[in-house]
Amino acid sequence: MTNAFSVARPTGAWWEGFRQRVRLHVVFQPIVDLGSGAPIGYEVLGRATALDRSEDGADLPGPAHLLEVAYSRGCLVELEQSWRTLAIETIARQRPQHGVRYFLNVDPRVLEAPGFRSGLTREILTRHGLIPEQFVFELTEAGAALDTAKLVAVVRHYSDQGFGVAIDDVGAGYASLRALLQLRPNLLKLDRRVVAGVSHDGFRSALVRALAEFADRTGIELVAEGIETLADLRALIDLGVSLGQGYLVGRPAARPVPPPYDRVLDAIDAPLKASA
């Protein structure tokens, strides 16, 4: 397999130019226990803002697109590490809440990149008095580009160090079911495109119920992503999905703060609240 980095590596000048024009930062989106509202963790999302918008003329592409650009320029490791370091520094400053985990997105292709150094994240954590057990790596869809043996190695690489591992965007890509069988992750994140409309689509709700049962039997945690309506939230609780994330649950914020989820629970019918 050809390695894009070996060709693109000399374009490190692109990265320097990028860093001069762009401010990188991170935001935190809560993941809650849908029944009680207790936050079990926060997904850390990378963001980028053009420093001089007039010069740029247009908004920067979203994080996923930016990662693709960085990959094509041979700078995936640099971008991932920058966001990850920012995340860890921000978490360390906040004094992490007890029992709360931080979910970091990882593009599995970084492990194949020449600039990648094993154990770096752990070193940064140690420097800040944090431990791997407080963190979960979400393997993104880009992992489909790697073969399964390599993905299994990625999972082992992280779980051997004590990190949790989640498969991200389950249901969005064709490789997900196969990946699920072979990777044996700690956690599944159900893609928003599967979740949206679960309240009024019997086909969809049957699939979610089956996955919730699967998660229950295997001891895997299941998080529904992209919860945006009360009807879908109500349906998810009814289907046995215990954890969730989305604009209705809590919006991304500059700091990891518990969302006002009580108000959302209050909006759910009282009989259902009692049964949940």
Contacting residues toward Ca ion, per CB under 5 A: 105, 138, 168
Of 127, 26, 112, 30, whose CA–CA distance to 71 is shortest? 112
Of 27, 21, 12, whose CA–CA distance to 60 is shortest? 21
Q: How far is the CB of 115 from Ca ion (least distance, A)?
A: 23
Sign of the Cα torsion 222, 25, 91, 154 reads: positive
Complex with Ca ion: residue 5 or 88, whichever CB lies closer: 88
Complex with Ca ion: residue 188 or 235, whichever CB lies closer: 188
Residue with tokens 């963190």: 135
Complex with Ca ion: residue 78 or 138, whichever CB lies closer: 138
Q: How far is the CB of 105 from Ca ion (least distance, A)?
A: 5
Complex with Ca ion: residue 138 or 221, whichever CB lies closer: 138
* Cβ neighbours around 168 below 10 Å, total: 26
DSSP class per residue in 85-101? HHHHHHHHHT-PPTT-E
Q: How many Å is the maximal CA-CA distance in the chain?
A: 62
Q: How far is the CB of 3 from Ca ion (least distance, A)?
A: 25
Complex with Ca ion: residue 82 or 105, whichever CB lies closer: 105
Complex with Ca ion: residue 90 or 105, whichever CB lies closer: 105
Distance CA 212, CA 183 (A): 18
Burial of 37-60, coded b for 16+ CB within 10 Å and e otherwise, reads bebbbbbbbbbbeeeeeeeeeeeb
Complex with Ca ion: residue 73 or 192, whichever CB lies closer: 192
The 3-state DSSP class for residue 150 equals helix
Distance CA 118, CA 141 (A): 21
Q: How far is the CB of 104 from Ca ion (least distance, A)?
A: 9
The first and second tokens of residue 2, run together, are 């050809």
Q: How far is the CB of 43 from Ca ion (least distance, A)?
A: 6
Q: How far is the CB of 74 from Ca ion (least distance, A)?
A: 24
Q: How far is the CB of 6 from Ca ion (least distance, A)?
A: 28
39-50 and 101-106 strand pairing: parallel
Q: Quick one: how far is CA 109 from the chain centroid? A: 15
Sign of the Cα torsion 144, 148, 149, 151 reads: positive
22-33 and 243-244 strand pairing: antiparallel
